[in-house]
Amino acid sequence: MAIGNVTGYVELMNGQIFTSIYSLYNASFVGWFIIILFFALQSISFIKTRSLNLMWLLGMFFAALYTTTGLVITVNPVALQIIFTILILELGVIVYAWVRK
């Protein structure tokens, strides 16, 4: 029984668990997996803390960790552009709220 064409199976059998999980979910969400994770992190952090500063800081940590995982998974440059665009918009909202106080 050869199961070579299942997404993430080869990585799983080679002991690369995180690469297997990433390739499985990235294929199922058609390349939008990281963006979905980013939006989930941002919304959960805002719902729990109601702090834009903490939400922006967690977003920066997420972007930094995703950028440095280039050794394990392939970094999608479009996902990085979307993440950094959202972080710049969030920083603009934070600065605007700080100036208006």
Question: Is the same domain home to 66 and 21?
Answer: no
Question: Is the same domain home to 19 and 54?
Answer: no
Place of tokens 């603009």: 92
What is the structure's pLDDT at 26?
79
Asked if residues 66 and 77 have their Cβ atoms less than 8 Å apart, the reply is: no
Query: pTM of the predicted model, to two decimals?
Result: 0.77
Question: Is the same domain home to 40 and 25?
Answer: no
What is the structure's pLDDT at 1?
46
- For 62-83, what is the mean pLDDT? 83
Least confident of 21-30, 42-51, 55-64, 75-84: 21-30
d(CA 62, CA 68): 10
Question: Is the same domain home to 68 and 21?
Answer: no
